[in-house]
Amino acid sequence: MQSNFVDYVKINCRSGKGGAGSAHLLRTRGNAKGGPDGGDGGRGGHIILRGNKQFWTLLHLKYTKHLIAENGEGGGKNRLHGRNGKDIIVDVPLGTICKDEETGRIDCEIIEDGQQEIISKGGRGGLGNDHFKSATFQTPRFAQSGEEGEEKWKIIELKILADVGLVGFPNAGKSTLLSVISAAKPQIADYPFTTLVPNLGMVSYRDNKSFIMADIPGIIEGASQGKGLGLRFLKHIERNSLLLFMIPCDTKDIKQEYEILLKELETYNYELMVKDRILAITKCDMLDEEMMEQLKGSLPKNIKTIFISSLTSMGIIQLKDLIWNKLNGLDNQ
């Protein structure tokens, strides 16, 4: 089945050329040698990205290979200013970045609803001959031509904006948790790589508060070197405020699995190490109190750990409290 989630497109952007200024000279029945009255040319159209919180994918741009803005119109007589070229405004999800394809330089980041950024600037309109007259040069018969627009290939890439990113090996229970804790309906099955695209869910909290959780496709050892689905989706973790590590209770060595996950994130981007982290031990409906106590001795240190079960809702309320406190600086642990 073809995915509706698209997080990368490459588009040729060509802004509009500025209109030429007019070199018109005033000629009327009563004034056969009037002075210059040429108007300025209009600006070429810009190509603009605009943040839209209703969008979550770049699917609408998947088959767009060219964006071509309108040219500005030339100036007219009687100092008439030419019409500006029509801008092209493209709505994109929050978390979108635009890069120059040739240099890799980031032109802009769209992180707010309604934010607008020009990614290809229209050429300026030329000045009409009215601008060039002077006391000693009263009849300029020339005007400026319009400035050329820009034409460049741009990479438009989405990095999901979410408060909480779920991190874990395939089949760790991330999708199941998201389906229980929010209204999201990700595909769920008992085999690795069920999740092939990131899923977002709005999690309701107390007093009509909420936060956004992202289910990132499962990491495997070597993901930071491009194995599995790693490199394709590790970028989506960069924008998450809090990382929720998820490891099943029946894992052979929970501490080792946590360290592998941590190492993959560190190798991909060391800045991920400064983010707040929580460790959730999943599928704990299989454990009794005595088994959980035995398990606590083998857990990694220096990270807040909680036992949960998406099947029985065990620990889910406490997990939401813990996440909310971490996100809002209310937990100093």
Q: Are 153 and 101 in contact (CB under 8 A)?
A: yes
The pLDDT assigned to 228 comes to: 43
Determine how β-strand 96-100 pairs with β-strand 106-110: antiparallel
Which residues, 6+ apart, have CB-to-CB distance to 127 below 8 Å? 21, 40, 41, 143, 144
Higher pLDDT, residue 292 or 233: 292
> Does the pTM of the predicted model rise above 0.75?
no
pLDDT at 332 over 70: no
pLDDT class of 233 with cuts at 50, 70, 90:
low
User: What are 192's two structure tokens?
Assistant: 């690795």
Quote the pLDDT of residue 221: 57
33 pLDDT above the threshold of 80: no
**Residue 292 pLDDT greater than 70, yes or no:** yes
pLDDT in tens, 296-311: 888 998 899 999 998 8
Mean pLDDT for 140-169 is 91
Least confident segment among 12-21, 75-84, 290-299: 290-299
Contact 109, 92 (CB under 8 A): no
DSSP H helices in 7-124: none
d(CA 17, CA 180): 53
pLDDT, residue 155, reads 95
- Please identify which residue in the block is written with the tokens 């070197």: 225
C-alpha distances in Å from residue 267, one per residue of 9, 231, 260: 26, 11, 10
* Residue bearing the bigger pLDDT, 236 or 21: 21
Distance between CA atoms of residues 158 and 6, nearest Å: 8
Lowest average pLDDT, out of 2-11, 104-113, 165-174, goes to 2-11
The full set of domains in the chain, from first to last, is 1-158 (2.70.210.12), 164-327 (3.40.50.300)
Q: Where does the pLDDT of residue 174 fall: very low under 50, low under 70, confident under 90, or very high at 90 and above? A: confident
Strands 276-282 and 304-307: parallel
Mean predicted lDDT score pLDDT of the chain: 86
**For residue 199, what pLDDT is reported?**
75
